[in-house]
Amino acid sequence: MGQRSQIYIRIWDKDNDTPKLYAKYYGWNFGERMISRARHGIEYIKSYMEYISLKDTQEKINRIFDVNFDMGDILLTSDIIKEWIEQFSDTYNANEYIFECTANNDGKLFIDVTKDGEIKYCFTDYNMRLLTPVKYMDWDFSDWRNSEQLSKEELKTCEDNIAYIKKNAKFMTEAELQEFIDFDYSKQIEKLANDLKIKVDQDKLCKTDINKQKTEQSKEKNDISEVEIL
């Protein structure tokens, strides 16, 4: 399958000590399509923030990222966490596989909904290099502003979506992205494994020192500017 990418959505809420992570594998989600999903996903989250603690709301957020509202299309995505449990838990550590080992040639999107209701985001290339929306487009679709593959209307839509993202969500720092990737998701993974009646090796579950991460995060500054000209 060509045009492979991933979207990761982490939702914190005040009723739980640990977040819910959705790790989604896409085919044919690239360039302006990834930008579109980011924009409409963020918009949906903002609209339903009052109900963010509800499981139904969190699952709807997960599914909303499957839809491309600008194209009127929907993709059937794969659950990377479930895939790791069923096929790769003997080979890779959980976080290693979830965030680094799935095939990718069109980058990644990270969405983080914090307990205080803030929405953070970033794009990356396949090497996890932090990218703003414009830098993501420049990397994945280098001639997007002048390409015949995008009509004037599609280009305007992409630019409007980028403007919306930058206005309505906060760009992650390098440290925040690293914390997202290194976080201990073992409680969620073990529950899903139990539901699937699959035993996973405890040594393959990533357990990290979150207090150390928070200390390191407070010391590090974001080195990518969001001041860009569309």
Provide the pLDDT confidence category of residue 3 given band limits of 50, 70 and 90.
confident
- pLDDT tens digit sequence for 28-40: 999 999 999 999 9
CA distance 85 to 94: 8
The angle subtended at Cα 105 by Cα 101 and Cα 106, nearest 5°, is 115
Burial of 108 (0-12, 13-18, 19+ CB in 10 A): buried
- pLDDT tens digit sequence for 125-172: 999 999 999 999 999 999 999 999 999 999 999 999 999 999 999 999
Q: How many CB atoms lie within 10 A of CB 57?
A: 18
CA distance 74 to 65: 9
Mean pLDDT for the chain? 91
Provide the pLDDT confidence category of residue 228 given band limits of 50, 70 and 90.
low
Burial of 2 (0-12, 13-18, 19+ CB in 10 A): exposed
- pLDDT tens digit sequence for 170-186: 999 999 999 999 999 99
DSSP labels for 15-32? T-SS-EEEEEEEES--HH
The domain ranges of the chain are 4-219
- pLDDT tens digit sequence for 62-108: 999 999 999 999 999 999 999 999 999 999 999 999 999 999 999 99
In the beta sheet, which residues pair with residue 78? 25
Residue 33 CB partners (closer than 8 Å, separation 6+)? 68, 71
CA atoms within 13 A on the CB side of 77: 26
Q: Which two tokens stand for residue 110?
A: 């990270």
